[in-house]
Structure 1
Amino acid sequence: MLGGIRIIDFSRVLAGPYCTAMLADLGADVIKVEPPQGDDQRMMGVIRDGESVNFALINRGKKSVCLDLKDPDALDAARKLVATADVVIENFRPGVAARLGIGYDDLRALKPDLVYCSISGFGQKGPLSRRPSYDVIAQAMSGLMSITGAADGPPMLVGDSVADVSAGIFAAFGISTALFHRARTGEGRYLDVAMLDSLIAMMPTALSRYQGQGVAPMRHGNRHALTEPFGTYAARDGHFIVAVANNQLFARLAEAIGRADWATDPRFSSVQSRTANRAEIAAALEAWAADRNVDEVVTTLLAAQVPSSPIWDVAEAVESEHCAQRGVFRPLAHDVFDTLRAPEQPVHFAGSPRGVLTRAPARGADTEAILRDLPGLNDTQRSRLNPGKTAGTPS
């Protein structure tokens, strides 16, 4: 789908690399430019024999070139590399890329139709733009933490790095859109993607509640704020999910749990009235489920066409037959971890086969080959930029 598109990826850790992994899955040629010591993600997360599972999964399908951008020859090589590319992505703090000589204005002069994407915590402008940010800070300041957790408990983090990931997804969306625009007009684009903006854009229910009610929404635990029953409920051996969002589904639920009278009870006649009487509904539902196992509860409710499910842990989700048949994961060869399973970008394009994923690169593994083919570099520069190599040494 993106064959022939070259991306120079100056990003590191998660948001930018997540974006470029998705684009690599679709065939883009992604060249990861790392400092000599490598991306910090190489030493984050689960480490085995010096290798990071996190890095291996997030940097699949890419090539690696190591360049110290404070070295004039390395900067010259990076700029020449950009001149061969379609897209540049970086996630430095605002102003750092320009100081390094790889800002948008610097590189647009070399490649006028360049698509250039900057990812940062708070964006390139605004009173917070110069602040450092990590996923936890974006979660805290977006309002997401304030609506996550039990009603009588503290604000809580979401269980994964959703700010980084959402910014990466929106960046991939933006890059693809900008490439489409360029194909029609010949014009490049500068893209400013903020983690904070991305998380706020992913909270439509909370934003609606705030604007409709005039007060900031707060935590409701594992229950939906605006309807009932909708969320997590207890059975004999664990918890299950019910999602009832209209009158028809509520009537089916009521009959399934032996409360057919609810369907005509004015206290439960609308989403709003059910929310006002949520405690009674939840108590009756959990009383019905108290002497039933989760599997029995879910089977009964699904037979009545009421949306319901168990709560899987990560292992159950990964190992599920459904994920296997959907091709959610693809094998990813690795010297240390044997074969990993990487979650390929999740969009299925009809008529296009799912990709064959390649492993994440070793640090600087492609420096020699890429610089050897890069026009404009002399042998002395190539030799300096390849530690342990001499000019003309074959790969």
Structure 2
Amino acid sequence: MVNRPSYSGAPVGGALEGVRVIDLTMMLAGPYASMMLADQGADVIKVEPPGGDNTRRIGPHLPGALVQEQGGYGSYFASINRNKRSIVLDLKSTAGLAALKRMIATSDILIENFRYGVMERLGLDDATLTDLNPRLVHASVRGFGDAAGGVSPYRDWPAYDPVSQAMGGIMGITGPVPGGAPTKIGPGIGDIAPAMFAAFGAVAALYRAQRTGQGDRVDISMVDSVLALCERMIYQYSATGVSPGPEGNGHPLLCPFGIFEAADGYLTLGIPNDKFWAIFTDLIGRPELATDPDFATNPSRIANATRTMAAVSDWTRARTRAQISEVLGGHVPFAPVMTAEDIFSDPHFQARTMLSDVAVPGTGDRLQIANTPVRMEHATAGVRTQAPLIDEHAEEILGEFGFTADDIAALGPRTKAVQPGADQKYEKEGTMS
């Protein structure tokens, strides 16, 4: 890693300040990974194809947000591409590919989410990348991985969030009714989990490269990443020979544990042991349930789960979430099930600055986006700058890599080669949730 100043010339104070990342990703899985690096101070250079990342044109859009002819600037794009710089390069052109190679030669991390085999077709195979930069960390996010981690028989299958949720196992254990139909999890966990593993793997490999001078290949499979989240079902099946299915809103090993109805919404309650059960029953005015043999221990409550859950539900349905919070808050594991509106007004998220606002070009307005939860005492982290306009930093970036005015002119027009909204040149893994 080269100790570089931030691109603005002012130190950002992040833990990854001085790390240069070449980001070839689009859609969700890859950009979320590079976002995590950018949030910690890395200089992430987003290399977009002519026409830009498709998510630029995915809404919702604030009134006045840039129109398609300007590349687009939807809220989806704004959320996960903050803290990055943009340059457009046509990697199917000789000049564009040569420019990218020149940038890779002095960078620390390359991250991409092309389909299997695309990097090789572009002439960016592992051997070439190592020749360009022996210290380079090359991280990829693909549906079923790449060759470094083992070649999957499904390597050529396209993969998006529902595919990785389904094959990774998490969809099969999620559903409103125990033993019933599977359900997709709302957020794009099939994209975001691989993104998190990619960011972690890239930083781990970078640490090794700093010590050894040798780069590495970080091979992330979206399906594998979801499976890693489902570790419980793996050991359950190994130990019992029974495949877990949808569990509803409860827990197979603990009771009461799940979602309960209140007079004005829903709440979650988790009683992990008999100590908390005794506290809970005392708080709700039912201390006899802590000594009754049918409810006193977790095994007995599981055996009498219907009656246990009914006793809890009878109490919660008669009260609002605020009333329940006054009784249970701070005493037993409890929380109201919050909507986005609830989150925007809750003091916790304000105190933790989890809602950050960024400017939206063309609107004169600001958009609130979710900040990073990774905070440090000394290093700074989080949203610093809005997501870039398409090709916004091209001349600045190329100048930093030593391109002359003639070199830049030789690249030709980059933002007009493909009409915005047209099909992307390269197939990417990962999509919107």
TM range (shorter): over 0.9
**Higher RCO (C-alpha 8 Å, min separation 6):** 2
Quote the residue 1:250 is aligned against: 277
- Stretches of structure 1 that go unaligned for 5 or more consecutive residues are 390-395
Q: In 2, are the aligned partners of 1:332 and 1:340 still within 8 Å (CA)? A: yes
Q: In 1, are the aligned partners of 2:89 and 2:414 still within 8 Å (CA)? A: no
For 2:253, give the aligned amino acid: L
Do structure 1's residue 140 and structure 2's residue 162 form an aligned pair?
Answer: no
Quote the residue 1:334 is aligned against: 360
Cα deviation for residue 312 of structure 1 reads 0.7
Tell me how far apart the structure 1 counterparts of residues 54 and 414 of structure 2 sit (CA, whole Å): 23
Do structure 1's residue 122 and structure 2's residue 144 form an aligned pair?
Answer: yes
Quote the residue 1:186 is aligned against: 213
Q: In 2, are the aligned partners of 1:73 and 1:381 still within 8 Å (CA)? A: no
Q: In 1, are the aligned partners of 2:269 and 2:333 still within 8 Å (CA)? A: yes
Tell me how far apart the structure 2 counterparts of residues 276 and 386 of structure 1 sit (CA, whole Å): 72
Tell me how far apart the structure 1 counterparts of residues 132 and 186 of structure 2 sit (CA, whole Å): 42
Cα deviation for residue 241 of structure 1 reads 1.4
Q: In 2, are the aligned partners of 1:22 and 1:344 still within 8 Å (CA)? A: no
Taking the TM superposition and a 5 Å limit, the aligned residue runs for 1:13-28 are 13-28=27-42
Quote the residue 1:392 is aligned against: none
Q: In 1, are the aligned partners of 2:113 and 2:142 still within 8 Å (CA)? A: yes
Do structure 1's residue 38 and structure 2's residue 52 form an aligned pair?
Answer: yes
Q: Deviations over 1:327-374 (max 9, x none)?
A: 213332222452223333211111234455111111111222322443
Q: In 1, are the aligned partners of 2:372 and 2:382 still within 8 Å (CA)? A: no
Do structure 1's residue 382 and structure 2's residue 404 form an aligned pair?
Answer: no
Single out whichever of 81-90 and 380-389 deviates more from structure 2. Answer: 380-389
Distance 1:276 1:211, change over 3 A: farther
Do structure 1's residue 87 and structure 2's residue 126 form an aligned pair?
Answer: no
Tell me how far apart the structure 2 counterparts of residues 70 and 356 of structure 1 sit (CA, whole Å): 33
For 2:40, give the aligned amino acid: L
Tell me how far apart the structure 1 counterparts of residues 225 and 291 of structure 2 sit (CA, whole Å): 42
Quote the residue 2:427 is aligned against: none
Quote the residue 1:275 is aligned against: 302
Tell me how far apart the structure 2 counterparts of residues 270 and 97 of structure 1 sit (CA, whole Å): 57
Cα deviation for residue 186 of structure 1 reads 1.4
Tell me how far apart the structure 1 counterparts of residues 414 and 180 of structure 2 sit (CA, whole Å): 57
For 2:205, give the aligned amino acid: A
Q: In 2, are the aligned partners of 1:166 and 1:198 still within 8 Å (CA)? A: yes
Tell me how far apart the structure 2 counterparts of residues 278 and 178 of structure 1 sit (CA, whole Å): 47
Cα deviation for residue 143 of structure 1 reads 1.5
Quote the residue 1:261 is aligned against: 288
Tell me how far apart the structure 2 counterparts of residues 344 and 294 of structure 1 sit (CA, whole Å): 26
- Stretches of structure 2 that go unaligned for 5 or more consecutive residues are 1-14, 68-72, 416-433
Matched residue of 1:272: which SS? helix
Q: In 1, are the aligned partners of 2:90 and 2:414 still within 8 Å (CA)? A: no
Number of residue pairs matched by the alignment: 387
From 60, 71, 78, the equivalent of 2:100 is 78
From 1, 9, 23, the equivalent of 1:9 is 23
